[in-house]
Amino acid sequence: MFSYRLFEQGEEKLLAICDKDVLGKDFSEGEVSIEVNDFYSDKNCEKEEAIDLVKNATIINAVGNEIIDLLVNENIINKSNVIRIGDVMHAQIVAVNP
């Protein structure tokens, strides 16, 4: 299960989505850190809805090994564009034509 928040401004749709189990946790790797806070928390969804949300977003901020694996398997992102911060994977995506 995933937690997400959708921000809409005009034509732009920013989707902040994370694995439900990383919500409320902090991760760090060297000088890089991420706090998975309420920015990612408004509603919950399963895999199918997450894919629909991602495909309709213009900007995506994704945190969590499960959501990143899903995005890689759906060919939405390339694994080489994913960073690891501590024990969690993170990616930011800007869609050219959602």
Q: What is the pLDDT of residues 73-93, one digit of tens each?
A: 999 999 999 999 999 999 999
**Domain count of the fold of the chain:** 1
Phi, psi of 53 (to 5 degrees): -60, -45
In this structure, what CATH number is given to the domain that contains residue 64?
3.30.1860.10
Alpha carbon distance 76, 82 (integer Å): 12
Kindly tell me if the per-residue pLDDT of 98 is higher than 60: no
Q: Which helix or strand (DSSP H or E) is residue 55 part of? A: helix 47-56
pTM of the model: 0.93
Helix (H, G, I), strand (E, B) or coil at 98: coil
Model confidence band, residue 15 (pLDDT cutoffs 50, 70, 90): very high
Kindly tell me if the per-residue pLDDT of 97 is higher than 90: no
In which domain, by residue range, is 83 found? 2-94
